[in-house]
Amino acid sequence: MTIIAFVGGGNMAAALIGGLLQSGHPAASIRIVEPDAGQRERLTARFGIAPMARADATLAAAQLVVWAVKPQVFQEAAAPLADHVAGALQLSVMAGIRCEAIVRATGSPRVVRAMPNTPALIGQGISGLFARQEVNDAEREQVRALLDCTGQSVWVEREEALDAVTALSGSGPAYVFLFAEALVQAGCDMGLTPEQSRQLVLSTFRGAALLAEADGAPLAELRERVTSKGGTTFAALESMRADGVASAIARAAQAAQRRAAELGRSLG
């Protein structure tokens, strides 16, 4: 039985713990460090696991330590654990904190970084994963299985690629919401009710994504299939082309990637 310790018992930790329990992992093998009393109560009520208020020597039994605190409190959260967790595999879901900072703070060279996104909270997320070379194949598999509880995952070969993952899937739900908001508003302007508009738009996003996954054809081909020359979709796409929508999206993603790199440098 692998003992897994979570440092931070917030949203992301809860999504992972829920997935672990559902996949048959025993509650008795899960430890949680969570300083907030209200949050500890909620975790106990939801999972039947009593979190500890602060780290102690019992954490030395953990084979896997999952870092799920906000990046700004990582150093403070790590200090009391440093003496206990150097022998464990470290998995971080913290945005921006580089592997080297985790190695320094924990004393363990075996570090995997994950960049999840918010749909993980309903089991529909996607995570980018990067492992340092000290992490062996069985450990990579263990981490992938844990993250699979929250959706899908994609391995990247270079740590910097996680900044691109952040720019696509990490921040991506917000781009989708912006596009959806604008389309819902357009529907309202055309006389649909907000409820009708919202249902039409959200269902269209879900359906289009599922169709693209199921079909597997290149996205450009899928787009062309619904675009007959001179038709309604053609008119909309011509308007988007004239407005430079595709290049605006590319610039936005690049801005997110640059910001992820900057945050990574400032957080160490």
Contact residue for ligand NAP among 3, 4, 5, 7 (CB under 6 A): 7
Q: Of 142, 133, 163, whose CA–CA distance to 64 is shortest?
A: 142
Residues 74-93 that bind ligand NAP (CB under 6 A): 76-77, 93
Are 15 and 75 contacting, i.e. CB atoms less than 8 angstroms apart? no
Distance of CA 201 to the CA centre of its chain: 24
Q: Of 153, 144, 159, 146, whose CA–CA distance to 125 is shortest?
A: 153
Which residue number, 223 or 259, has a Cβ lying nearer to ligand NAP? 259
> Of how many residues is the chain composed?
268
Number of residues that bind ligand NAP (CB under 6 A): 27
Structure-block tokens of residue 219: 């996205």
Which residue number, 65 or 95, has a Cβ lying nearer to ligand NAP? 95
Are 77 and 7 contacting, i.e. CB atoms less than 8 angstroms apart? yes
Q: How far is the CB of 207 from ligand NAP (least distance, A)?
A: 24
Establish if 39 lies at the interface with ligand NAP (CB under 6 A). yes
Establish if 71 lies at the interface with ligand NAP (CB under 6 A). yes
Establish if 36 lies at the interface with ligand NAP (CB under 6 A). yes
Q: How far is the CB of 7 from ligand NAP (least distance, A)?
A: 5
Angle, helices 11-22 vs 37-47, to 10°: value is: 20
Which residue number, 5 or 187, has a Cβ lying nearer to ligand NAP? 5
Q: Tell me how far apart the alpha carbons of residues 12 and 15 are, in angstroms, rounded to a whole number.
A: 5
Establish if 99 lies at the interface with ligand NAP (CB under 6 A). no
* Binding positions for ligand NAP, rule: CB under 6 A: 7-13, 33-36, 39, 68-71, 73, 76-77, 93-95, 116-118, 120, 170
